[in-house]
Structure 1
Amino acid sequence: MKIKENNESSFLRNINNFNLKIKNVWTLVFLIPLSILIIIPENFNSILTFALKALMGTIPFILFAISLVAYLKATGAESLVSKAFKGKEVRTIFIATLVGGLAPFCSCEVIPFIASMLALGVPLSAVMAFWLSSPLIDPPALLITASALGWDYAIAKTISALTIGLIGGFGIYFLAKLGMFTSPLKDQNRSSSGSCCDTKDPFNQELVLKFWNNSERTKIFRDEFITNGLFLLKWLSLAYLIEALMVQFMSAQIIGSFLSGDGLSSIVIGAFAGVPAYLNSYAAPAIVSGLIEQGLSAGGAMAFLVGGAISSIPAMTAVWSLVNRSTFIAYLTFGFGGAILCGIAFQFYVNF
């Protein structure tokens, strides 16, 4: 009996070890290209090139974000950043929304900055405002949208970005007053998995700007830089591989086949259809122009533009690794809900 129990325990341990290996993100990052090479070798080069190009375009943002966090932690200045937002949360929400509207980040490129802001203690309300508004619009995207769809769409999308940012920011602000979102980051063991979630101040708020003369602080900088860098690199690598697969196999014709029509249903479908399509603010307007010709309503087009930019599957993959479940659900709720509301408002404007 005892031998049988030991065998069962050994079997369960092996199963658990196997599950841990499968869940390892680096394993997936390796297995996905390998599977493509074996199953569809003719698409291997195009998919891998797309993913690598997207990742390399994000590397400068990752380097800037993790360097900033590492420097602030090594110098002990992170507490000053947190204090800068104390008692000024409402104003910070407005500022974060406006900055997000000017920042040229897609839903994946904004992830390193979200990680940095949360790690430094910036209120989740302000982070959410920046998080939602940034992928939607920026000056180049405004001009591209106006060129492909007209100024009505461009202006409406800009208003949508600011509106959703404010709704998300103040939504989190009021929910936090009820005791929610006290710890938005996932509680992870840095030694085992690495994350951007450690906000402990190792120097008790002592500020030393020239930290490189101190071996302990230099080690803090190096450890933070490497740990946070690997954390973001592995999740964004997975995110861009998923994006490359979707871009390769999901055409505008497939999407347009079930998006055509008028009414609320097309708006709701448009908001959710933008998620698997994943079209950034630069590529989306031209595709949406073609979908409109295939029968997509104005409200559905706006919902598609907004929903796809905010809540794409690659972005959700990276976000899931960073924040806890309640914060993740709030992000999706504000993203999808905002896309639907903006679609309804724009359809009403067009019909009026």
Structure 2
Amino acid sequence: MFIFDWLNSQLLKMEWLSNLVKALVEQVFGLSIQERLGGSIHFFVYDVIKIFILLSVLIFTISYIQSFFPPERTRKILGKYNGITANTLAALLGTVTPFCSCSSIPLFIGFTSAGLPIGVTFSFLISSPLVDLASVLLLASIFNWKTAIAYVLVGLVLAVIGGTIISKAKMEEYVESFVFGNKISDVEEEELTTGARLDFARCQVVDIVKRVWLYVLIGVGIGATIHNWIPDYIISAVLGQDKWYSVLLATIVGVPMYADIFGTLPIAEALVLRGVGIGTVLAFMMAVTALSLPSIIMLKKVVKTRLLVVFVGVVIIGIIIIGYTFNAFGYMLL
């Protein structure tokens, strides 16, 4: 147990880095991290470095695993199953695709074109941006393992239930006809060498870091502001655990935003540290990652309004239920 705690604190939470940045702020800049300015600098520098280190290592590892599951192979695996089993597998496969909601949509189109049931492809579409293997370790590095595992489990349940509801509603007619007209031919997958897989993983790290670095900086900046500059009474008045509307507000605010879990985590960390309910924070994170406005606009190009409304409605209702549930029982996680 001691070894696990040490690894968790030093490798995931990077307490050594926190102490190093603290020494830098206090000894080089002459600022106390107990004061607003010093605390903001410490929060920003520490979180940025920690997130980028973890992000690079995790994306490299996940991308190497992902190289064994190219789209065609994934389609073949999913095509062997149906019903809730297929939805569950689609949700699980979404966890090894470190994509934001917008970049998941081309795969959604490809799977639908290949003949997979739309309920299965929607389970993938919900899971892919919402839950990935990186989110487990990143959440554990900021909160704890119980919170990280609980987030992943509820995200997978939401993906499976959402896809199942859409499947039961039989809404294939509300997918634009051109999607079904793009049939994918069965081509033999080329087996990659170890070197090619490593190259793919390196390229994925570079590509994803290029896409998310700005959101990470913005997210950490907002987190530092919330953590050190916004008074407790303001946060409590807006998002306090005693406010019945806090989960609804967090969800509504999160939907129009465009970011991924890497950009929302620093904000979530700061909100929890200031006493906001874990359910409210998770609702915000889920709304941002699963239902960003740009992804909804892109999805509107390939599905008709009724299906889009059902999809957004199911996900929003699911997020709100998850938020209130975690606010009620979140004390068991923190």
Q: Same fold (TM over 0.5)?
A: yes
Match of residue 144 from structure 1? 138
Matched, 1:186 2:176: yes
Match of residue 154 from structure 2? 160
Matched, 1:122 2:101: no
Q: Is the 8 A contact 2:127 2:156 kept in 1?
A: yes
Shift of 1:116: 0.6
Matched, 1:260 2:227: no
Q: Is the 8 A contact 1:259 1:296 kept in 2?
A: no
CA distance in 1, matches of 2:316, 2:127: 13
Matched, 1:296 2:290: no
Deviations 1:208-234 (A, max 9, x none): 97xxxxxxxxxxxxxxxxxxxxxxxxx
Query: Size of the alignment, in residue pairs?
Result: 230
Shift of 1:251: 4.5
Residues 240-255 of structure 1: pairs in structure 2 closer than 5 A: 251=222
Q: Is the 8 A contact 1:125 1:171 kept in 2?
A: yes
Matched, 1:172 2:166: yes
- Tell which structure's C-alpha radius of gyration is larger: 1
Match of residue 324 from structure 1? 304
Shift of 1:170: 1.3
Shift of 1:138: 1.5
**Other structure's SS at 2:314 match:** helix
Classify 1:296/1:120 alpha carbon distance in 2 versus 1 (closer, same or farther; 3 Å): same
Deviations 1:49-97 (A, max 9, x none): xxxxxxxx9xxx9xxxxxx99xx8xxxxxxxx69973872332112111
CA distance in 1, matches of 2:143, 2:128: 20
Classify 1:290/1:162 alpha carbon distance in 2 versus 1 (closer, same or farther; 3 Å): same
| Structure 2 gap ranges (5+) | 1-58, 64-69, 189-210
CA distance in 1, matches of 2:256, 2:85: 34
Q: Is the 8 A contact 1:101 1:138 kept in 2?
A: yes
Matched, 1:344 2:334: no
**Other structure's SS at 1:296 match:** coil
CA distance in 1, matches of 2:97, 2:292: 18
Residues 1-352 of structure 1: pairs in structure 2 closer than 5 A: 85=79, 88-176=82-170, 181-187=171-177, 197-199=179-181, 251=222, 259-262=238-241, 263-351=243-331
CA distance in 2, matches of 1:311, 1:208: 33
Q: Structure 1 counterpart of 2:181, which letter? A: T
Q: Is the 8 A contact 1:299 1:347 kept in 2?
A: yes
Q: Structure 2 counterpart of 1:347, which letter? A: N
| Structure 1 gap ranges (5+) | 1-56, 62-67, 73-80, 189-196, 210-239
Classify 1:278/1:148 alpha carbon distance in 2 versus 1 (closer, same or farther; 3 Å): farther
CA distance in 1, matches of 2:140, 2:238: 22
Q: Is the 8 A contact 1:118 1:185 kept in 2?
A: no
Shift of 1:311: 0.2
Classify 1:82/1:185 alpha carbon distance in 2 versus 1 (closer, same or farther; 3 Å): farther
CA distance in 2, matches of 1:127, 1:84: 9
Match of residue 9 from structure 1? none
Classify 1:106/1:280 alpha carbon distance in 2 versus 1 (closer, same or farther; 3 Å): same
Q: Is the 8 A contact 2:131 2:156 kept in 1?
A: no
Q: Structure 2 counterpart of 1:272, which letter? A: I
Alignment RMSD (CA, Å): 3.6
Q: Structure 2 counterpart of 1:92, which letter? A: A
Shift of 1:152: 2.9
Shift of 1:278: 2.9
Classify 1:208/1:86 alpha carbon distance in 2 versus 1 (closer, same or farther; 3 Å): closer
Shift of 1:123: 0.4
Q: Structure 2 counterpart of 1:311, which letter? A: L
CA distance in 2, matches of 1:351, 1:301: 14
Shift of 1:201: 6.0
CA distance in 1, matches of 2:285, 2:140: 13
Shift of 1:318: 1.3
Work out the percentage of aligned pairs sharing the same amino acid. 23
CA distance in 2, matches of 1:288, 1:172: 30
